[in-house]
Every structure is written in structure tokens, then in C-alpha cells.
């Protein structure tokens, strides 16, 4: 906790708890871009992402008393944003693929398309391909590959089985590859 007290974000949180409006603005400005990017990846739509960003910050600011400094403020805020997006997506009743993975299939065994090392793609191209994914696939792809959650954590967050998370991710990954290959300018 002593390390936290020297941390600028910890100091800003404490200032917010004391009612300092400038501190709220500083926290928002420090994290809004990164949190917006998470929301865009989760929601797949810029306008919805803006809504989720605002709702997430409102929730975070209301819950500042629950921030104990056990993680970084950014990690705590990220969890709020991810949960906010998932709750919104669940209202739409995302259909999760629930097929079990064949025992012999692993991520490394997939060799239908070009080798992943051979894919020389820009971040923008991957983002465009992700936007074309169905919601369920996009959410899991984003949580696993970009946000860094493992399949056990994703299963817990989304209330699905771990095998569903793995299956959905593998299908999303294959769809992204197919969409990238189909894009003009693909280089293998």
C-alpha cells in the first residue's frame, strides 16, 4: 500500500474521494483513450463504445470507495469497462458456440491458411477484420488476444464453459485469417 500512496493515480483517486473535480478530470484524461479502445473492441461500434465508456466511468467514479489499491487503478477500471460491455452485449443475448473441441485439435495444429509468422499485417487491417466478426466471436477474440485474459477467466466473466471460450476463439481466429486473406493487399 505504501507504493500506492506514491503513485499519481492513487493520489488522484484519493483526491476524487475528497471531492476534487479536477482530479476526476485528470483520471478521466489519463485513462479515457485506453478504455475507449477496449470498449470499441468489445462493442464493435464507435458510438456504442462511447456510451459504454461514459457509463463505465460513471460507475467507476461512483464506486471509488471500493478501490483498495490491490491492483493498479487502470486494471480495476479495465475490469469495470469489460463488465459494462459484456452486460450490454448480454442484453442482446449473444449466442455462444458450445461445441466441444476435438481432443486432437490444438491451436498450433491449424495449418489450413498461411503460417501466422508469414502474415505481415498492420494493426489496422486486423482491427478491420475483427469488426467483421460476429459479436460472440469478437468479444472472446478481444478478451483473449488483446486484453490478455485466459480461457478460464473468460469462461468465468461470460458465464460460459472454458471449452466454449476456446472453440469460439479458434473460430474467431480462423474467421480473422479468412477476412485478412480476402482483403485487398494481402501479403503472404
Tell me the torsion sign for CA atoms 48, 52, 39, 26: positive
108 band by pLDDT with thresholds 50, 70 and 90: very low
Q: Which of 60, 91, 122 is at the close of a domain?
A: 91
For position 94, what pLDDT does the model report? 57
- Residue-range definition of the domain harbouring residue 23: 2-91
The neighbour count for residue 146, using CB atoms within 10 Å, is: 15
130 band by pLDDT with thresholds 50, 70 and 90: confident
Phi-psi region of 148 (alpha: psi -120 to 50; beta: other; left: phi over 0): left
Q: What distance in Å separates the CA atoms of residue 74 and residue 79, rounded to the nearest whole number? A: 9
121 band by pLDDT with thresholds 50, 70 and 90: very low
Same domain, 82 and 119: no
Contact 80, 60 (CB under 8 A): yes
Tell whether the model's pLDDT for residue 102 goes beyond 90: no
Summarize the confidence of residues 156-172 as an average pLDDT. Answer: 88
Q: Is the pTM of this model over 0.95?
A: no
Same domain, 117 and 69: no
Same domain, 123 and 87: no
Tell me the per-residue pLDDT of 8-60, one tens digit each, with 9 for 90 and over: 888 999 999 999 999 999 999 999 999 999 999 888 889 999 999 999 999 99
Domain count, the chain: 2
Contact 63, 42 (CB under 8 A): no
Same domain, 8 and 62: yes
Tell whether the model's pLDDT for residue 133 goes beyond 80: yes
Tell whether the model's pLDDT for residue 115 goes beyond 50: no
For position 98, what pLDDT does the model report? 46
More confident residue, 96 or 45: 45
For position 89, what pLDDT does the model report? 82
Residues 6+ apart with CB under 8 A from 75: none
Same domain, 73 and 120: no
88 band by pLDDT with thresholds 50, 70 and 90: confident
Amino acid at each position: 500500500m505504501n507504493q500506492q500512496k506514491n503513485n499519481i493515480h492513487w493520489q488522484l483517486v484519493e483526491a476524487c474521494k475528497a471531492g476534487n473535480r479536477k482530479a476526476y478530470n485528470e483520471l478521466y484524461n489519463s485513462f479515457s483513450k485506453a478504455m475507449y479502445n477496449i470498449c470499441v473492441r468489445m462493442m464493435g461500434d464507435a458510438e456504442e463504445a462511447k456510451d459504454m465508456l461514459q457509463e463505465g466511468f460513471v460507475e467507476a467514479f461512483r464506486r471509488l470507495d471500493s478501490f483498495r489499491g490491490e491492483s493498479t487503478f487502470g486494471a480495476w477500471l479495465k475490469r469495470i469497462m469489460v463488465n459494462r460491455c459484456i452486460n450490454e452485449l448480454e442484453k442482446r443475448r449473444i449466442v455462444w458456440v458450445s461445441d466441444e473441441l476435438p481432443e486432437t485439435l490444438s491451436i498450433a495444429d491449424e495449418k489450413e491458411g498461411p503460417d501466422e509468422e508469414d502474415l505481415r499485417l498492420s494493426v489496422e487491417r486486423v482491427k478491420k477484420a475483427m469488426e467483421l466478426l460476429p459479436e460472440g466471436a469478437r468479444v472472446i477474440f478481444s478478451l483473449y488476444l488483446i486484453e490478455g485474459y485466459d480461457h478460464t477467466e473468460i469462461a468465468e466473466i461470460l458465464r460460459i464453459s472454458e471449452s466454449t471460450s476456446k472453440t469460439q476463439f479458434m473460430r474467431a481466429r480462423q474467421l480473422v485469417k479468412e477476412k485478412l486473406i480476402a482483403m485487398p493487399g494481402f501479403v503472404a
